[in-house]
Amino acid sequence: MSHDNPDDEIMCPCSGTRRGQIRAYFLQGLDVDAISRKTGALSGCGGCEWDIGEYLQALAAEAAADKPAA
Ligand code: FES
């Protein structure tokens, strides 16, 4: 059964922010603060902070692996 990082998974229930939105903003070059301002994520209970932070780190690692520093 595959259940790996579905884009429609809600990462921040307070704002209803989905994983796919966070990735899309990350790919536009937004940092966690900017993503928070755009989506409302992290602006409620803060319970999603760890999950979203970890996801952004994973995305950054993926991007670094894809595109070695020039
Ligand atoms: S779950 Fe994201 S701020 Fe509450």
Q: Give dist(CA 54, CA 60) in Å, integer.
A: 10
CA 64–ligand 1 middle distance (angstroms): 28
Q: Which two tokens stand for residue 36?
A: 């928070």
CA 69–ligand 1 middle distance (angstroms): 33
Per-domain boundaries in the chain: 10-66
CATH 1.10.10 assigned to 10-66: yes
The Cα-based distances of 27 to 20, 22, 36, 60, 63 in angstroms read 10, 9, 15, 9, 9
Q: What confidence score (pLDDT) does residue 66 get?
A: 83
Per-residue pLDDT of the chain (70 residues; tens, 9 = 90+): 545 669 999 999 999 999 999 999 999 999 999 999 999 999 999 999 999 999 999 999 999 998 766 6
